[in-house]
Chains A and B, each alone.
Chain A
């Protein structure tokens, strides 16, 4: 049963959840936990690797690991809460060549998502 000894720590790794100690960038009134739920409902992970979402881990868009520390959105817009919120709702209007579609979410939901994304620090 040597396999048991090997597999036990692996199991522990798998079960552990990400634990971020840095205080996240604040967005007034937004709920990061709710943002994660919305992302799972609309399926953002079909295109992005998103920490906290086990599946899917889509590769069509960039990974969102460490997004909270990224200086830019899509490489050309400053990574600020209001810009991000607008981008989440209707990215094509800001950048016609992007593959990111307009998403069926409300302004409040977009702010929740933004709050979650800002928790993702390296």
Chain B
């Protein structure tokens, strides 16, 4: 095998090492990764804690949204029911959908990744535990506040996809819609933070030797999931921002009277919204692939095909968004394309389903609760997939669209594709974090009640949809023949509710996390996560030689626990983990990991507070909160680029590795690049909005600023980026005055960027641009707002660099901070150039 990094694979032969490990090593690990005390539970960042909190919060929101579902079904049990008033009902169905999608489904699978990935990959933790903890706290606080809006009658009532103009200021003057826009937009930021953590974690924190073809299928799923979040979620962030700008300042993005177009929202929303379905489905499918292999006692048949299928799903899912818009009067050529793509996306799903069936045939099913949930989920998902193929047929969709047929379809897909696999995963992996597994006897009841409850609820809905019942109706007239079906559906919903209730009781009886002991490998799984662990995760980090390490090497577990592999101790006396190369997982360096702290928690709470205060229009307190949040984040970043310790340390068996790496090899660089991809997606979608609205009414477009201004602005942006680059070069020279000169150049670069962005805005104002008059004004302004926001962040980075100099933290041996600032600055400048060229040259004067 060719080496990727110059690491000699022959070194792997040194493991497992012989002989006993020295006394006190294990105790040191235990001390370093000790359990938090008192308030420490809040400041914890270790995935053993945050991951469990995360899953718990997701299940809390699942139950809350489930209660809303029962209220909905109670209202619809009989025609013209007076159980819920119209307005309350409209709020409840909106919040039910929103919570299930944004507060349960996505966070739940993300949480599963946070709990499982470090152990599954053989890492001590994911690479950015504080970012993960921040994402969790922001999500919890934001989600609870969002849910609470129901109690004040302030919950959004526009449906979970919030179509304008119904959600515009004209038709939704209250702050209800703002709760959705700010609350959800904010929670998406948390999802993106989690995705960054997962991408870098899966690619860089694997056990040595775990090449991509030995990467567990669940980790593949999480990787694809996270990449899809990075590409899809910027769209909903942009959409919510545009809508909020329209609501507050009257910038017409969606207002047809002033040149906007309600369909722009639909494009942006579904460009996020449809991949979202697969974002939810893929990790659950990864879990199913894992669990089916275990319960069948056979290796997954067609592992490569399953991985390729998941990649294909991720890819195709970005080409199907308009199938939510077949009734909007799109041209036949577009509907045909999206129809074909929507059908194509079912093929990789078929590959996975048949791979599962083949695996079951290859082994022999041992019946258990996870097995039941996995197989039951498979059948439900197939049924949902088949109705999905039906509605992908444009003419049939004209009938089914927005009827209860669709309600049935989407619940079959999501419950079969995500909820059942998620319960399978909960039952299967519970013994990994809990001292006791869940009860098998109760598990049977939970499964069968949920399985039949599901069918009784949703199967009849197909029919009532064909009978003409539209979705999102708070009631229906008595003489339309829908009564019996709705009553049956309601009964089914309560059976489903009963199943969840039983599960909660069983959790209370048996779930004992955070202990010294785990129930262990109850189901006989093959993954590294079943190696007995402490809070430090695995005792030593094994060399992985197989896709099913515990099945293929029965000794592995014992050797790992005995410390006979990588990093059996703490090489630096701190929390640390191995960073490996992305493809072949060759050890590259030792990452020193952060310790628990309060700053990320404060930052999360203050960010959430700032958004909520903004929602209730308390602008000054919101500003205070935002400033506080920024200060907390700066304080948190302060510890990222710490003074260096020993340059090279022994990471096991005498293999030496550096403790500090900067540039493209470092995990920080990777995270920054991914962040910039997010920013770039927002830019591209912004540009799409600009061109889209231009195409609606080209005549209304005015002249751009003069060519002279274009040239000067481009030169200014390029100059700022150049100064940032020079700053890094100056630091690398490592002379006595390098820190001062480098900092000076960096401050100059950020200052110049601020000046140029300001001039950019002024040039447009000088050309007579007013954001609220037409779509050109609005979309150019939104590009400038985005440019201004990133420039503002760059400005803060300049201040931060100066502070680092004052406190003596700028040195040539630690260039990471400056490199990352320069990278961000370079991107912002490039984005500025793109924006100037697009808006000045297209469509021209």
Interface residues, chain A, CB within 8 Å of chain B?
Answer: 1-5, 7-8, 10-11, 14-15, 40, 54-57
Contacting B63 at CB < 8 Å: which of A1, A14, A56, A57?
A1
Contact A55:B79 (CB < 8 A) given known A1-B501, A4-B501, A8-B494: yes
Contacts of A54 in B (CB 8 A): 78-81, 478
Q: Are B78 and A7 in contact (CB under 8 A)?
A: no
Contact A4:B67 (CB < 8 A) given known A10-B74, A55-B477: yes
Q: Are A3 and B478 in contact (CB under 8 A)?
A: no
Contact A10:B63 (CB < 8 A) given known A4-B501, A40-B479, A55-B477: no
Interface string of B481-500 (1 = CB under 8 A from A): 00000010010001001101
B138 contacts the other chain (CB 8 A):
no
Q: Are A7 and B71 in contact (CB under 8 A)?
A: yes
Contacts of A11 in B (CB 8 A): 74, 77, 490, 494
B504 contacts the other chain (CB 8 A):
yes
Contacts of B63 in A (CB 8 A): 1
B337 contacts the other chain (CB 8 A):
no
Contacting A7 at CB < 8 Å: which of B70, B80, B479, B500?
B70
20 CB-based A-B contacts, threshold 8 Å: A1-B498, A1-B504, A3-B66, A3-B70, A3-B71, A3-B497, A4-B67, A4-B70, A5-B501, A7-B74, A11-B77, A11-B490, A14-B77, A14-B81, A15-B77, A54-B79, A54-B478, A55-B79, A55-B475, A56-B80
Top 6 A-B pairs, shortest CB-CB distance: A55-B80, A3-B67, A4-B497, A1-B501, A54-B80, A7-B70
Complex CA distance for A108 and B733, rounded to whole angstroms: 106
Interface string of B43-80 (1 = CB under 8 A from A): 00000000000000000000100110011001001111
B354 contacts the other chain (CB 8 A):
no
B83 contacts the other chain (CB 8 A):
yes
Contacts of A2 in B (CB 8 A): 67
Contacts of B494 in A (CB 8 A): 4, 7-8, 11
Distance (whole angstroms) from the CB of A43 to the closest CB of chain B: 12
Complex CA distance for A2 and B487, rounded to whole angstroms: 21
Of the listed residues A1, A3, A8, A55, the one surrounded by the most CB atoms of chain B closer than 10 A to its CB is: A1
Chain B positions 492-538 with a Cβ under 8 Å from a chain A Cβ: 494, 497-498, 500-501, 504
Distance (whole angstroms) from the CB of A48 to the closest CB of chain B: 15
Interface residues, chain B, CB within 8 Å of chain A?
Answer: 63, 66-67, 70-71, 74, 77-83, 475, 477-479, 487, 490, 494, 497-498, 500-501, 504
Q: Are A1 and B500 in contact (CB under 8 A)?
A: yes
Distance (whole angstroms) from the CB of B428 to the closest CB of chain A: 22
Distance (whole angstroms) from the CB of A32 to the closest CB of chain B: 18
Contacts of B74 in A (CB 8 A): 7, 10-11, 14
Contacts of B82 in A (CB 8 A): 57
Contacts of A4 in B (CB 8 A): 67, 70, 494, 497-498, 501
- Chain A residue at minimal CB-CB distance from B75: A14
Distance (whole angstroms) from the CB of B564 to the closest CB of chain A: 47
Distance (whole angstroms) from the CB of A53 to the closest CB of chain B: 8
Complex CA distance for A4 and B74, rounded to whole angstroms: 10
Complex CA distance for A11 and B477, rounded to whole angstroms: 19
Of the listed residues B70, B478, B497, the one surrounded by the most CB atoms of chain A closer than 10 A to its CB is: B70
Count of A-B contacts with CB under 8 A? 54
Distance (whole angstroms) from the CB of B235 to the closest CB of chain A: 33
- Chain A residue at minimal CB-CB distance from B83: A14
Complex CA distance for A40 and B477, rounded to whole angstroms: 11
Complex CA distance for A51 and B227, rounded to whole angstroms: 59
Contacts of B70 in A (CB 8 A): 3-4, 7
- Chain B residue at minimal CB-CB distance from A3: B67
Of the listed residues A5, A11, A15, A55, the one surrounded by the most CB atoms of chain B closer than 10 A to its CB is: A11
Contacts of A1 in B (CB 8 A): 63, 66-67, 497-498, 500-501, 504
Contacts of A5 in B (CB 8 A): 501
Contacts of A55 in B (CB 8 A): 79-80, 475, 477-478
Contacts of B490 in A (CB 8 A): 11
Distance (whole angstroms) from the CB of A59 to the closest CB of chain B: 14
Contacts of B498 in A (CB 8 A): 1, 4
Complex CA distance for A16 and B70, rounded to whole angstroms: 18
- Chain A residue at minimal CB-CB distance from B500: A1
Contacts of B77 in A (CB 8 A): 11, 14-15
Complex CA distance for A2 and B66, rounded to whole angstroms: 10
Complex CA distance for A7 and B477, rounded to whole angstroms: 23
- Chain A residue at minimal CB-CB distance from B501: A1
Contacts of A56 in B (CB 8 A): 80
- Chain A residue at minimal CB-CB distance from B495: A4
Complex CA distance for A57 and B490, rounded to whole angstroms: 24
Q: Are B478 and A14 in contact (CB under 8 A)?
A: no
Complex CA distance for A11 and B81, rounded to whole angstroms: 11
Complex CA distance for A54 and B483, rounded to whole angstroms: 12
Of the listed residues A4, A56, A57, the one surrounded by the most CB atoms of chain B closer than 10 A to its CB is: A4
- Chain A residue at minimal CB-CB distance from B475: A55
Complex CA distance for A2 and B497, rounded to whole angstroms: 9
Distance (whole angstroms) from the CB of B454 to the closest CB of chain A: 15
Contacts of B487 in A (CB 8 A): 15
- Chain A residue at minimal CB-CB distance from B478: A54
Distance (whole angstroms) from the CB of A40 to the closest CB of chain B: 7
- Chain B residue at minimal CB-CB distance from A55: B80
- Chain B residue at minimal CB-CB distance from A4: B497
Complex CA distance for A2 and B78, rounded to whole angstroms: 22
Distance (whole angstroms) from the CB of B68 to the closest CB of chain A: 8
Contacts of B67 in A (CB 8 A): 1-4
Complex CA distance for A5 and B63, rounded to whole angstroms: 13
Complex CA distance for A56 and B504, rounded to whole angstroms: 41
- Chain B residue at minimal CB-CB distance from A17: B78
Complex CA distance for A57 and B478, rounded to whole angstroms: 13
Distance (whole angstroms) from the CB of A6 to the closest CB of chain B: 9
Distance (whole angstroms) from the CB of A42 to the closest CB of chain B: 13
Contacts of B500 in A (CB 8 A): 1
Distance (whole angstroms) from the CB of B457 to the closest CB of chain A: 13
- Chain A residue at minimal CB-CB distance from B505: A1
Complex CA distance for A8 and B493, rounded to whole angstroms: 11
Complex CA distance for A40 and B67, rounded to whole angstroms: 34
Contacts of A40 in B (CB 8 A): 478-479
Distance (whole angstroms) from the CB of A33 to the closest CB of chain B: 15
- Chain A residue at minimal CB-CB distance from B80: A55
Of the listed residues A2, A3, A10, the one surrounded by the most CB atoms of chain B closer than 10 A to its CB is: A3
Complex CA distance for A15 and B78, rounded to whole angstroms: 7
Contacts of B80 in A (CB 8 A): 54-56
Complex CA distance for A44 and B479, rounded to whole angstroms: 15
- Chain B residue at minimal CB-CB distance from A8: B494
Since A14-B81, A54-B80, A54-B478 are in contact, a sample of 20 more A-B pairs with Cβ atoms closer than 8 Å, ordered by chain A residue number, is A1-B66, A1-B500, A1-B501, A1-B504, A3-B66, A3-B71, A3-B497, A4-B494, A4-B501, A5-B501, A7-B70, A8-B494, A10-B74, A14-B77, A54-B78, A54-B81, A55-B79, A55-B477, A56-B80, A57-B82
Contacts of A8 in B (CB 8 A): 494
Complex CA distance for A3 and B63, rounded to whole angstroms: 9
Complex CA distance for A70 and B83, rounded to whole angstroms: 29
Distance (whole angstroms) from the CB of B669 to the closest CB of chain A: 46
Complex CA distance for A59 and B66, rounded to whole angstroms: 35
Complex CA distance for A57 and B80, rounded to whole angstroms: 10
Complex CA distance for A10 and B487, rounded to whole angstroms: 13
